[in-house]
Structure 1
Amino acid sequence: MSHFYFHNQRIYYTEFGAGAPLLLLHGNTASSNLFAEIAQRYRKDFQVVLIDFLGHGKSDRLDEFPADLWFHQAEQVIAFLREKQYPKANIIGSSGGALVAVNIGLEAPELVNKVIADSFEGEKPIIALTENITEDREASKLDAETRMFYSSMHGSDWEQVVDNDTRAMIRHQKEIGGFFHKDLGSFQPDILLTGSLEDEFASALAPDYFEKVYGELLAKIGHGKMHLFDTGGHPALLTNQDGFYQLSLEFLTGKC
């Protein structure tokens, strides 16, 4: 296993394939295991890099996640990219990983080529979801399929990871409230926003949630595209894997 150090703590990563670097960034309560299948498809065209954020997967555990979780995770990736000295990297972030990807593009655009941000909330947390997060997470821990997912992501101490994430999300809404530190108008890399119209989180709020929120984001950024899949759940990257892979390949290679 490969690791790099961030603030004296070990972060797990693995890399394989050949070509321009492509980082796949996981979301909340997940790890790089989330990309086990689709990552193998990208290895034909890219040097694929998978990372477990601190406190997740095979990385060192944290007693507590920082409230500004997605910015802190972006700092981890920025440190990693600078240490590895890759040429400009492509980044695909899904769900919470999409927030990390946008933060990286805002904070260190010189390190980034193109960004795909998949199935995320927008600029701020969805209050209706955060208000119920404790109850929803407790219910999820009783569901056999979800427990299996958590275990496959983190191992036997998965419950600590899930609880840390829940508390961080609540603190973020109360103490911070916004996902990004810089104005979106300063975002420089090419960007593609993706999602599914049947995403169980977004569609519960409004049938056109992604269309509206992504449209507002792109207007502030001043460039970029969006693609919404008609079917599939959360995240689109996994529930529309064939279509997402083809779309992402065209975008990242400049054929979109």
Structure 2
Amino acid sequence: MRGTAIGILTFFSMFLAAAGARSAERWAELPAFPSMPAAKTSGMAEVNDIKMYYAEYGEGDPILFIHGGLGNAEVWGHQVADFARDHRVIVADSRGHGRSTRSQQPFGYDLMTSDYVALLDYLKIDKVTLVGWSDGGIIGIDMAMKNPEKLTRVIAQAANVTTDGVKADVMNNKTFNDYINVAGDYYRKLSSTPNDDAFVKQISHMWETQPAWTAADLGKITVPVTLAIGDHDEAVKLDHTEMMAKDIPGAKLVILKDASHFAMLQDPAGYDAMIRDAMAGR
């Protein structure tokens, strides 16, 4: 009986240790989008051929945060709360995402980049630090190539510059699928066209064909660039990000520990520290 009891206790201890290990794997979980602070100003800017939702917080040197595909500005709640203490923070919903409208033009990174350039002009902002996640990071790199005069620096997390930089099995990943479901819930809540399947079809076509930049394209970038990727990113290949860091002159590569594609939610303190280090040139 004593041996049985010891065996049960040993098994129970092993079970607790395993459960503790699972709970420590923050990269495998998708935290809820945080609440956004009250905006200083917000509205719908008429840019290009759409109406683009934006919100501003705080005062100081401007930082523009750009969300990833299917998402919206709400993903940046932790970062807005931190950086609005000493910066003018701008967030927006990309074309067709969240509260922003879209037109009949096919989705493309150049077009989405031009929307953000037009938004900065609308807000009378000369230059920003651009923090972009996933599609937002791709837009940041595109802007660095096409509109460097608008940028102080780019901090791009989980971006790719060719379609083969994306993992083939990303759609089999539970955490990534959890994000798609959450993004869908937000879309139905925020969008003026909540039941429009054409949006997903059009942006999916963009992902299949874009971006398609060469090493020569990246080699022309003159803006300071920091490339960040979680060490457990579900979507973007690490060696692809390493290649980007080699091809972009002076680029710095940061590996975010115990984080995935959704690092800004999983480790907001570490994520914000990464941004501040990049802004300080560290």
TM-score higher than 0.5 here?
yes
1-side partners of 2:262 and 2:212: how far apart? 21
**Mapped contact 1:21–1:46 kept (Cα < 8 A):** yes
TM-superposed CA distance for 1:90, in Å, is 0.4
| Deviation digits for residues 152-199 of structure 1 (CA, Å, limit 9, x no counterpart) | 35516586567523443335535x551589811111111111011111
Match of 1:192 in 2: 226
Trace 1:69-148 onto structure 2 (pairs within 5 A). 70-120=109-159, 122-126=160-164, 140=177, 146-148=180-182
2-side partners of 1:5 and 1:181: how far apart? 35
Trace 1:157-176 onto structure 2 (pairs within 5 A). 160=195, 164-171=199-206, 173-174=208-209
1-side partners of 2:221 and 2:270: how far apart? 26
Trace 1:53-72 onto structure 2 (pairs within 5 A). 53-62=94-103, 66-68=106-108, 70-72=109-111
2-side partners of 1:234 and 1:170: how far apart? 21
Pair 1:250–1:239, CA change in 2 (3 A): same
Question: Where in structure 1 are there 5+ consecutive unaligned residues?
Answer: 203-208
**Mapped contact 2:165–2:240 kept (Cα < 8 A):** no
TM-superposed CA distance for 1:237, in Å, is 2.5
TM-superposed CA distance for 1:214, in Å, is 2.3
What is the TM-score of this pair, normalised by structure 1? 0.80
Match for 1:236 among 263, 276, 281? 263
Match of 1:222 in 2: 249
Which stretch has the larger CA shift, 214-223 or 70-79?
214-223
TM-superposed CA distance for 1:32, in Å, is 0.4
TM-superposed CA distance for 1:67, in Å, is 4.2
RMSD: 3.1
Pair 1:213–1:154, CA change in 2 (3 A): same
TM-superposed CA distance for 1:15, in Å, is 0.6
Pair 1:223–1:6, CA change in 2 (3 A): same
Runs (4+) off by over 4 Å: 127-133, 156-163, 179-182
**Mapped contact 1:185–1:221 kept (Cα < 8 A):** yes
Aligned residues with identical type, % of pairs: 18
Whichever of the two has the greater Rg, that structure is: 2
What is the TM-score of this pair, normalised by structure 2? 0.73
TM-superposed CA distance for 1:238, in Å, is 2.4
**Structure 1 residue identity aligned to 2:131:** I
**Structure 1 residue identity aligned to 2:59:** A
1-side partners of 2:261 and 2:197: how far apart? 18
**Mapped contact 1:65–1:168 kept (Cα < 8 A):** no
2-side partners of 1:5 and 1:180: how far apart? 33
**Mapped contact 1:195–1:235 kept (Cα < 8 A):** no
TM-superposed CA distance for 1:117, in Å, is 0.2
